Each structure stands twice: as C-alpha cells, then as structure tokens.
Structure 1
Amino acid sequence: MVGAGAATAHLGGAARPHVPGWVVTALLAVATAAGVPAGVALAGGAVTVSGALPLAQTLAALVLLRSRWPLFTLLASVATVAAYRGAGLVEVGWVWPATVAFAATVLAGRIGGALAVGLGFLAYAANWEVTVGGRDPEWIAGHVGGEALWLAVVLAAALAYRNRRRWQDEVAARLEQSRHEQELAAGRRRAEERLRIARELHDVVSHTLAVVGVHLNVALDAVESAPGDARDALRLAQEVRGRAMADLGALVAVLRDDGVTGVESPVAQLDGVAALVQQVRSAGLRVTLDEVGDRSTVPTPVALAAYRVVQEALTNTVRHADAAQAVVTLRYAPDEVTVVVRDDGTAATGSAGGHGIAGMRERVEALGGRLAAGPADGGGFRVSAVLPVGGRR
C-alpha cells in the first residue's frame, strides 16, 4: 500500500498518516475538555466548578463513545448542554459545545441524523431564549443565528472531509487492484517466457544431439580406416557443439534472471536457415533450400518460428526418418510465410517425432498459424506450416 498511498498523494492530496483510533479519540476528548471552558469564557460566561467545568468533562467523556455509538453520543451531548443551560449553570452556548459530537456523527455516515438533531436543537434553543430567557427577536437572530451558522460550517466541513477520505480510500483501492493485476500479468508473462525458453532448449538440444550423433558415428566408423575423415567429422561435431553451447548459455541466463524478459537465439532467424541446412548436409543428408520472396520484412517472432520449424523438421529427419535427401521450401508473401520440409524417408518412423511436432504446432498456433505433419504423397514425410505476418496470440 505504500505505492498506492504515494499515488493517492500525487492525485490530489497527501496520504493520511496511520494514527490509532484511540489516539484520535483521546485528543478530541482533551480538546473538548479544554475548549468548552475556553469558549464559555470568550463568550462572556462564567467558568465555574459547578457549571462550565463539569459540562466540559461530561462532553469529553461522551466523546469516548463516538466511534461505537455516534448518534447516541450526539443526543447525549445536546441533552447535557440543554440540562446545564436549563439549570442556569452555564449562561452561553447551545450547539458549539457539542461540535465534536456533530462532526463525529457526520463522519460516521449519519448525516441526516446530525442535521435533524441540529435543527431541532436550534429550534429548542430559540424557544428557550424567548420563553425563559426573555430575549427579543434581534438578540435571537444574532446569537442563535450565529450558532446556526457555526453548525452549518461544522457539518459542511465534516462532510467534505468524509468525502475526501472516501475518495482517497477508493483511489488507493483501485491503485492496489491495478498493482495486483499488473503483478499477475507480469507473472503470466514470465511463465509464458519460460515455456518459450523450454521449447527453445528442446529445439537446440534435440538438433545438436542429432547432428553431433551422426558425426560421432561417422568418426567411429572411420577412425581406423580413414583417420582424416574421422578428424573432419569430430571437428564438425565440435563446431556444432560450440554454437549450441552459445545458444544454451543465453537461454539458461534467462531462466536464472527474472529481470530479463526475453532472448533470441543468436542463429534463430531466417538468416540462420542456410547455416542450419549446411549443418545437416555435413551430417550426410542431402538438403536443398528453396527460398522465394523477400524475407527482410518478416517480423522477428514469425522468423524465429519459421526457423524452429525447419530445425525441428530436419532434426526428426536425421534422427528418425532414415532419409537420403530433404527439401526445405520457404515462401515469403506479404501476408504470410509458408514453410515446407519434405524428406524421402520412412513416413511412419518420421511421424514419431515425440514432443517435436507438438512443440512446432504450439509455436505456430501461438502466432495464429497452422501446421500439418504427416506422410507425403509419393512417400516420405512432409511438414508444412503457414505463419501469418502480423498474426496475434
């Protein structure tokens, strides 16, 4: 609530400091006990131990009940004032000695009750001054009218303070709700980012293991008969491993750092498709790359998804399809990007892509696209993805 309080102050006033209710009540009681005798003295009345002093003490004691029974406190306060005035123990003051009680009633939301009691008490005061005090109309207009003006000021000030306090509470509650919603949204974004990173890890590790495994098999077969070929295969495996470690380092850094909101693989763009194809070629699979259109206008999320589809499809071909060749086709149109990867391997084996095909489908559908994977006409396996340019999650 610190941020909400600061924002409340910025929007229209300082945030209310937290003061215990009993402290406020005690201060108001002390103010009543001291203020009533002072007011009587200023109005020209006598401050006596049988008049103004016990009246002030009684009103101060009633203030202690204001939080739980505000209307009762007000009624008891005006009744006490009326009793002291009727007994002649106090010569001045009708409404103003009960100022705290009137204000407390308004702050408690009993505005109508405070107004009704005030008007009724003023009417009683005017009648008493005429019938008992023998005052003339001019005196009544000056003195009782002045008390009526004081009552109006007190009620208006209390109502304004109450409305301001309610407005501050409402603003603070809205700001707190907004902060909570932002935290939830940030949590969802972090969870989505980690899910995306998990897919990236799967793609990088799966592809790297497949390509390195092929090179290691070549090196193992040629280590005695053709040491040069074995060294070349190991060198290629090491290069693939080095690029994969760079990717993995960037991805793991995101998982460890909550402050980082995203990372792109160093090669996971359309410019990296050619290098990806070359890696697979070095593993012994003949791959043809066919690109049609301008790829410079393809948005980064679409480019990354297209790259990952090609990578996953070729990885499945290397690992499962027992294929000799594959064709990668990328077509860039103003409204969509089409990715097709087809091999001549065993379709039934190639379709057993584990989580790879499911991951490709989730990635493509997250961008509003569609993916199809299955046996191709004439044999082999075919993966086709259509990614809309500007598609929304």
Structure 2
Amino acid sequence: MSLFGRIFLLNTAVLCAATALLLFAPITVSTPVLSNELLVLVLGLIAVLIADAALLRVGLAPVKRLMRTMTSVDLLRRGPRPVAEGPGDVAELITTFNDMLDRLEAARDFSAARALSVQEAERRRVAQELHDEVGQSLTAVLLGLKRVSDQVPEPARTELAAVQETTRTTLDEIRRIARHLRPGVLEELGLTSALKDLVAEFAELAAHSGVAVRGRFEPGPDQLPDDVELVVYRVAQEALTNAVRHAGAERVTLTLRTADDGIELRVRDDGRGMGTAEEGAGMTGMRERALLVGATLTVDSAPGSGTEVRLWFPLEDTGEHR
C-alpha cells in the first residue's frame, strides 16, 4: 500500500469512529449549545486528534527513521545503510536513498582518487626539480664559494665561510623537503623503514621544542600494495605533523602493529586534544586516503587528554580495495 493510501485509511478510520460515536452515543446538542454539551464536544475533538496523531506517528515511523539517517550521513565515514522496510512507497524511498548514497560514494572515490593521483604526481615533479635543479645549483654555489674563499684575505674568508654554512644549511633543508614530498625510502626499502626514517626526521625537528617523538614497530607483512603503503605513510606523516606542530604535546608515539587480520597504525600524543575544533583539510585528506584503499580511520580526542589517530587496514581485503 502506498504512503498516501495508508495515511488516508488511518484518517478514515478515525473519522468513522468519531461519526459512529456521535450516532450511537446518547448525546444531543441544543441550540444554543449548552456549556456541558460544549465540554463534551471539545473533549471528543481532543480524543479524535490524539488518536489521529498516534496512528500517523505509527504510519510515518519509517520516514522518521530515514530522516534521522539522512541528517547523520557523512560521506567520509561509511556507515550501515537503513533497512528498506515499511509501506511500499516508504521502502521504495529508502531504497532510492541507499542507491543515491552508493552513487555519491562512487563519485567521491573516483574524484578523490584522481585528485590524490595528481597531487602525488605533482609532489614527485616538485621533489625532482628541487633535487636536480635547485640542489645542483646550490652545490655549484658551494663549490664556487670554496674556490673564492681560498683566494681572498682572511677577513673576507671568515664572511665567506658564514655564507657557505648558510648555503649548506639551505641545501640540507631543500633535500629534506624533497624527501618529504617524495619518500624514496618507501619505494626502495618498504613501509617499516620509511616510517622509521619519518620518526627519526620528526624527532630531530621536534627536539629543540622539547617534544619527544618515538616509534614502535612490529614485523609487518612481506609486501603490501604500493597504494596502501603510500596511504599509511601519508597518514603517519600528517598525523605526526599535527601532533608536533599543533597539539602542544610533550610526547608523541607512532606504533605500527600487524595482527592476523590487518595492519594498524596509531599516532598518539599527550597534548591538549582537539576539543570542539572542526577537522581541517589535513584530517579530511587522511579520511579520503583511507577510504580509497578500504581502510578505516578513527580519531579519538578529548580536551586535555591528547589525540590518537588510528588507521586500520584489513589484510584479507588486500586485493579488493579500490
């Protein structure tokens, strides 16, 4: 039965009951209406409205459930679909809503995959140019400064040495940025070695601010798909960046653990927590990356209790991720 027919029949039943009550009840209405008769009519009308409201609430309950689901849907967090149950039109509406969510998620995955692919390609291009063009140019500058410093008097030689040191520091920073953009160690030595190198890099950068960065690593699977390793690495990179720069933490710990059914990455800090702050572009990017490979990303945070980012990738779905 359609939703219209269901509501029509419910209202018809209420009105028929009210009509039968007026026909067979020992009630008369005077002209003009007496006060006791008016009271009976008002009470009868209230009873009819209450019965009608109760029946409509029952009839529209599936629609209310669907509305609650609509308000809680987040395309970055996959959740269970509402069950297509209820009258014919309601079940069809729920089925159409589920189909719409499937289409939206497929379109989101496709567009996010293209965007992230373009982003990684641009990262590789910039890293290559930094290494080949800027790095080589600064190396040539260093060699030129060294030749000049051997031919000038001592006072100028001291100033040239300071310039050499600044140039050398700049060259090291450019190489660090290039590694950050394109993790060559991930391609050459695998995920665990790349994460160890990442932790060491952040530990060195955060040492001057009093933040201790530590890593705990368990033996992982021999080989993961390249896109899965890249997602785990990028999530770890973004989570460490947030913890070191924004959390106000004293200790940050990265843990890579492998279970029988999946691989887990955790980045935990003892900072001030996210509180009521909205998730930024970095967190959104992590969620998009996780969804692309069928992983689950959760963020647990409370004011004053730190933040924990957890990425879980089921190993049994290694060949099934998108």
Q: Tell me the TM-score normalised to structure 2 length.
A: 0.43
Q: Which has the higher contact order (CA 8 A, sep 6+)?
A: 2
**Larger of the two Rg values belongs to structure:** 1
Q: Tell me the TM-score normalised to structure 1 length.
A: 0.36
